[in-house]
Structure 1
Amino acid sequence: MLSFHLRATSGGTVRPPGRTATRPLRIAHLTTSDMSLALLLATELTVDLEAGHDVVGISAPGRYVERVEALGVRHVPVPSLSRSWGLKADLRGFAELVRVLRGLDLDVLHTHNPKTGVMGRIAGRACGIPVVVNTCHGLWARPGDSLKRRVFVYGLEGVASRFSDYELFQNAEDQHTLRRALRRGRSRVVGNGIDLERFQPDPEGRARVRAELGVGDDEILVGAVGRRVVEKGEREFVAMSSALAGRARFVWIGPDDGEAHDADDGAVEFVGERRDMTAVYSALDVFVLASYREGFSRAGMEAAACGRPMVLTDIRGCREVGTSEEHLLLVPAADATALTEAVARLIDDPELRSRLGSSARERALAEFDQRRVAATSLATYASVADDKDLGW
């Protein structure tokens, strides 16, 4: 059985609870899509399983279900869930989610993603699940958004937080934004992490991927990793690549989410999704993330662990990856000119690339272990159980 080594106090710190769980727990992680379960939460699901618990992944079904189940996790589909918002569809999804939760007899419901975070916290409390915990992976309104949007998003998150037992935040700025709505001592910043055993420099993979892409040893390869959507900065990446065409090769690795794309003059090669991501990161000479919104950039952490020099946008969720000029370069979001200037610096300065790549890897090894984040989640469940005297 799992020995809970940490316990959250009313001030949000942790201390030993002084006991061991008496039985395996039934833990469900709820996300909008199966991709989030497979790509973002795989390590956390694995840690739960290794602790001896019965783990369920709940999401809309898709092509990642097989990868989720390969971990040893039971997948329960909620077909009505989707990323887009619509009153009728969301009411239907909420009703379907309630039916699913009532049939699972859970001890813990851990919610993720914007919409399922809101719906799941409310549904979990309505279904009487003993422990409901939410992780904020990034507020879905940015500081520069309209007042109407910010009031709606922050208000909805504040209301939903009242239905959970504990709120976990990947970055301190999001916690600070919602501070007035959060219950005292019922939230903490946990950061984010990746599988450090998997993500590390891969010289053989680098050579193989560059050969597949036809990139010569004397060429600089600049790449982005992520879904092809506007908020990931595709427009700025394309503009930067066009401005620097001939000085480097440019590639975007990730699935097309079906959004309309700006015209591209051929400067960027879009290669779709790949699973050999350690090799892909290692193949890059410069990693770029021009995103407008992040909770705590996983791609940034993965690139850092692989020792890549990086250019990220100066937003919450990217600033946490490292300090500008020390671990990476930060540029304003939605600023193609600034992005172009920063990437050009790295193209022209191999010593800067080497220094930033080395310091980024050192920071990743010290700060980005997802097993630590998963252990904090387990400690949070134990803390809530103790506070409620659940007798686990």
Structure 2
Amino acid sequence: MRILHAVYSLEMGGAEVIVAQLARLHRSQGHDVRIACYSKLGVLGEALRTEGFELYVLGEAHPLLTMARYYKLIATLDPDVVHCHNVAPTIQAALPARLASVRCVLTTRHGFTLDPYPRNEELKYNAAGHACDHIVGVCQAVCDGIEMGALAAKDRIRKVYNGALPLAPVKSDEVQKRGFTLLFVGRLEPVKNLTTLLEGVAQAREHVPGLACWIVGDGSARAGLEARAAELGLGDVVRFWGMRMDTAAFFSAADVFVMSSVTEGLPMSLLQAMSLGVPSILTDVGGMGEVSRLTQSGLLVPVGDGEAYGRAIVRMATDEALRSQLSTRAQDEYERRFTLERMGEHYLELYANRV
């Protein structure tokens, strides 16, 4: 099967990691997989190129010119499947793929849209969905959000949970824990709302001797978060590690995985934590809340409630039996529902079965 993925770029991010892993999996199964980027390759794209993948950079341009470029590329490659990821690539590539008579066209929505609501873009996305055979949400919450949109092709919405490669336990001389350790891995952006996590850590430290919080990642909010951590007197508790590629060492050493986002689809980092049996404390939003309730593998707290987050940290740190139970559930449910192979099989089924 000839598969072309359409993405904005292949910079490091959850959706981009999924595309890269899916491409590798399907190529290993004998499929011809290629990727088209609107903006630039990014670090993941460069890595895929060294692995021998064919990648194409269209270049940023007027929307109509971009659609024309996609049509030309698709007509030349003649793929069996064009798989668009998120809003812009779907608007840009779905209709050209349909006009080029591609057998199966689908889009995956990896997350949510925040206020201020870009209504025009959402309307364009929903309209483009009518050129698709399938409109995939990575969790039920995302599917529900798509269905609520004006012009949505409701009969084409499907749910495919994200999958992730399992992490192998890794020991590192550099990554050494000294006490009960929380771990966040992800982009440091306002949507992650890490100030709530910091406020929870500040409250919990009085009740959890040796508490540590590792924040792995980078982004526009980092300077503000470092300042807030200093204001809360967390200089000896919170460590900002920056962007790291060796995240398995951090997951292997951590006691609990934490996220305090105001909205989420289904983050890869959560699934990676589950693969190692690391329980979680999460805000009750989107796919995070959905998966936590489905798997019973963590604790949920309300969005923006630092006090509730602090109480959850204390409970997790002081109840070893609970932590052990959640850990077992996390690993078992990962194997049952969230492997890369399971996700890949679901997508192959959609590729083979048009509406």
Q: What's the TM-score once normalised by structure 1's chain length? A: 0.77
1:140 matched to 2:113? The reply is yes
Q: Who is 1:15 aligned against?
A: none
Q: 2-side partners of 1:247 and 1:189: how far apart?
A: 42
The offset of 1:249, in angstroms, is 1.0
The offset of 1:90, in angstroms, is 5.2
The offset of 1:93, in angstroms, is 4.8
Task: Tell me the SS of whatever aligns to 1:31.
Answer: strand
Task: Check whether the contact 1:324–1:330 (CA below 8 A) recurs between aligned residues.
Answer: no
The offset of 1:241, in angstroms, is 3.1
1:34 matched to 2:7? The reply is no
Task: Check whether the contact 2:3–2:83 (CA below 8 A) recurs between aligned residues.
Answer: yes
1:355 matched to 2:355? The reply is no
**287-296 or 102-111: bigger deviation:** 102-111
Q: Who is 2:180 aligned against?
A: 220
Instruction: Looking at secondary structure, tell me which structure has more helix per residue.
Output: 2
Q: 2-side partners of 1:302 and 1:333: how far apart?
A: 22
Task: Tell me the SS of whatever aligns to 2:262.
Answer: coil
1:247-262 superposed matches below 5 A: 247-257=210-220, 261-262=224-225
Task: Check whether the contact 1:26–1:53 (CA below 8 A) recurs between aligned residues.
Answer: yes
Q: 2-side partners of 1:106 and 1:170: how far apart?
A: 24
Amino acid aligned to 1:351: A
* Aligned-pair Cα RMSD in Å: 2.7
The offset of 1:326, in angstroms, is 3.1
The offset of 1:322, in angstroms, is 2.3
- The counterpart of 1:333, out of the listed 275, 300, 303, is 303
- The counterpart of 1:297, out of the listed 267, 274, 298, is 267
Task: Tell me the SS of whatever aligns to 1:228.
Answer: coil
Q: Who is 1:6 aligned against?
A: none
The offset of 1:367, in angstroms, is 1.0
1:32-71 superposed matches below 5 A: 32-35=8-11, 39-59=17-37, 60-71=40-51
- The counterpart of 2:83, out of the listed 110, 128, 145, is 110
Instruction: Give a deviation string over 1:221-250, Cα, whole Å, max 9, x none.
Output: 111000111112222223333334464111
Task: Check whether the contact 1:223–1:250 (CA below 8 A) recurs between aligned residues.
Answer: yes
Task: Check whether the contact 2:87–2:121 (CA below 8 A) recurs between aligned residues.
Answer: no
Gaps of 5+ in 2: none
Task: Tell me the SS of whatever aligns to 2:147.
Answer: coil
- Structure 2 vs 1, CA of residues 118 and 292 (structure 1 numbering), >3 Å: closer, same or farther? farther
Task: Check whether the contact 1:111–1:134 (CA below 8 A) recurs between aligned residues.
Answer: yes
Task: Check whether the contact 2:2–2:80 (CA below 8 A) recurs between aligned residues.
Answer: yes
Instruction: Give a deviation string over 1:17-51, Cα, whole Å, max 9, x none.
Output: xxxxxxxx321111112135762223321232133
1:148-227 superposed matches below 5 A: 149=117, 151-152=119-120, 154-179=122-147, 181-183=151-153, 185-195=155-165, 198-200=166-168, 202=169, 205=170, 207-208=171-172, 211-216=173-178, 219-227=179-187
**300-309 or 330-339: bigger deviation:** 330-339
The offset of 1:283, in angstroms, is 0.8
1:229 matched to 2:193? The reply is no
- Structure 2 vs 1, CA of residues 182 and 252 (structure 1 numbering), >3 Å: closer, same or farther? same
Task: Check whether the contact 2:142–2:287 (CA below 8 A) recurs between aligned residues.
Answer: no
The offset of 1:280, in angstroms, is 1.8
Q: Who is 2:241 aligned against?
A: 271
- Structure 2 vs 1, CA of residues 314 and 193 (structure 1 numbering), >3 Å: closer, same or farther? same
The offset of 1:182, in angstroms, is 4.3
Task: Check whether the contact 1:300–1:321 (CA below 8 A) recurs between aligned residues.
Answer: no
- Structure 2 vs 1, CA of residues 178 and 248 (structure 1 numbering), >3 Å: closer, same or farther? same
Q: 2-side partners of 1:229 and 1:383: how far apart?
A: 38
Aligned residue pairs total 339
Q: Percent identical across equivalent pairs? A: 25
Task: Check whether the contact 1:313–1:333 (CA below 8 A) recurs between aligned residues.
Answer: yes
Task: Tell me the SS of whatever aligns to 2:82.
Answer: strand
Q: What's the TM-score once normalised by structure 2's chain length? A: 0.85
Gaps of 5+ in 1: 1-24, 81-87, 388-392
- Structure 2 vs 1, CA of residues 381 and 337 (structure 1 numbering), >3 Å: closer, same or farther? same
- Structure 2 vs 1, CA of residues 175 and 371 (structure 1 numbering), >3 Å: closer, same or farther? same
Q: Who is 2:202 aligned against?
A: 242
The offset of 1:71, in angstroms, is 4.5
